[in-house]
Structure formats: structure tokens, C-alpha cells
Amino acid sequence: MKNAFLHYKRNFKAAIAFALLLVFVPVFSIFESVFVTGGSMFLDYNVVDMQQIAIFIAALLLFLVFYSFFMSIIVFSVRKDLSKVKLQLYLHEMIQKFTLKLFVFFLAFSLLLYAAVLVLLVLGADLLVASLLVLVVSLFTMFVPQSIVVDEEDVLHAVMNNLEFIGKNPKDFVKLLVVGCVLLALSSLIGELVDSFYLVGAYVSLFLALVFVLPFLECMKTRMYMMKFELIRSPHLVSEIHKKETPAEQSLKDFPA
């Protein structure tokens, strides 16, 4: 976690960019089927107003474009920390390609999950059970953004590489789940504390999730994913990375876990 925090700190500008997604909160709040709680936004599956659905889809598509772009930037930033890349080439060409691939993945995956939940509900499944199944399936795609940006794979191969990485690194997978659950729980707790004074706790939790929890976890995931390369794990490269750090960062990294 120390290393992930250092990547987050070094790429704070890329991380804080996720806060721009908050502009979509009032947009989505227009819809009665959308509600904010626990640092997340949720959609009611009982939406029947076709006009609302059309507007919601348009807003969701725009949201996914920006979300994919910010995701590309934060993952690429950590990749840049750990390897040598042609910065200008990637900023002018590859980031656009990464964003498009991530957009396609997030959109297709969201539609598949939504359709799966609707089918389960039609078949008589409990909403909680259906939602838990969706959550479990989602967890097994958590390294897809890393494969797209680091391996520069297409969406299908990125999904396969993601599953292969999880299979070979179960400890990292579990560690990430634990850290993610703890951070989300803390952000929700802070939101509840704020609610006891001002009724904006849900939005405070969402803000914390966007500007810290999400980018921090992506930094952590990307570092884990990059460690699969022998060259990245080499002492020589680690030494080169340390040279980029400030004395304060080096002290934090050397501090016992």
C-alpha cells in the first residue's frame, strides 16, 4: 500500500480529475430511479418512462466517455512511473485509443449486467441475490483497464489477460478486495458522520470515493499488474524509480509496513 500511495501522490493531478465526474451527480439526480448512498450511485431497475430512459442513456454515455478518459490517464500515469514510454506519442495518440477501448468495455459490460439482472428478476430471483451475482462477476474484471493500458490489448484479450492475472495472483486479488472494502467503508462512515451535522453525507462519501478511493485502487491495481513483468521487478529499475522520488517519498516508502 505504501507504493500505491506514492503513485497516487505523484499523480495527484490525474487522480483529482475524477472529481470532475461530480458534475454528473445533479444530472443523474433528476431521475427518480437514481439515488446516491454509501459513496456510490444506484439505478432502480423498475424504470418504465421511455423519455427518462432515453435522457438517462445519453447522460450515461457521456459519463462513460469522461470516466474512461480519466481511467486511461491514471493507469497510464502509474505505467509511466514504472517503465519508459514515449510520452508525447502516448499523450497524443494512445490515450485516445485506450479511452475508446475502455469506453467500449464499460458500455458493453454495463449493458450485459443490466440485461442479466432483468432476466434474473423476470425468472423470479430476489433483487439482492441478483445484485450480489452482478457484484461477484464485476470483481473478476477489475484488471481489465490495466490490461488495456499496460498490455495495449483489445477488449476481448484484455478480459482474458485479466482473468489469467487473477488466477495467477490470488493473493493480490484478495488484498485488493480487502483494501477496497475498508476504504469504501471508511468513506461511508465519514459520510454518516457528516450527515449528523449536515444532510450531505452521501455526496461527501461520493466525493471521497471519486478523488481518493477509486484512483488509489487503480494505482494499486496497476502496480500489481506491472509487477508481472520481470524487468519491472528488477532492482535496477526500482533504483531508477527511487531517483524520481523526493526525500519525503523515499522515507515513506522505506517506513516499515
Task: Say if 257 falls within a structural domain.
Answer: no
Burial class of 55 by CB neighbour count within 10 A (0 to 12, 13 to 18, 19+): middle
CA–CA distance, 150 with 227 (Å, rounded to integer): 11
CA–CA distance, 198 with 232 (Å, rounded to integer): 47
CA–CA distance, 249 with 233 (Å, rounded to integer): 19
Task: Say if 171 falls within a structural domain.
Answer: yes
How long is the chain?
A: 257
Task: Say if 233 falls within a structural domain.
Answer: yes
Decide: helix, strand or coil at residue 196: coil
Mean predicted lDDT score pLDDT of the chain: 83
CA–CA distance, 194 with 204 (Å, rounded to integer): 8
Task: Say if 162 falls within a structural domain.
Answer: yes
**Contact by Cβ (8 Å): 218, 74:** yes
pLDDT at residue 222 in the model: 95
Q: Which is more confident, 86 or 98?
A: 98
Q: What is the pLDDT of residues 93-143, one digit of tens each?
A: 788 999 999 999 999 998 998 888 888 888 888 888 888 888 899 999 999
- CA-based nearest residue to 174, from 220, 208, 213, 205: 220
Task: Say if 57 falls within a structural domain.
Answer: yes
Decide: helix, strand or coil at residue 65: helix
- Which of 27-31, 127-131, 149-153, 160-164 has the highest average model confidence (pLDDT)? 160-164
- Which of 54-58, 106-110, 114-118, 166-170 is the least confident region? 54-58
**Contact by Cβ (8 Å): 44, 245:** no
Decide: helix, strand or coil at residue 37: strand
- Total domain count, the chain: 1
Task: Say if 27 falls within a structural domain.
Answer: yes
Task: Say if 166 falls within a structural domain.
Answer: yes
Predicted TM-score (pTM) of the model is 0.83
Q: 214 is written with which cell numbers?
A: 477509486
- CA-based nearest residue to 205, from 4, 3, 25, 13: 25
Task: Say if 188 falls within a structural domain.
Answer: yes
Residue numbers of the domain that contains 130: 2-252
CA–CA distance, 138 with 149 (Å, rounded to integer): 19
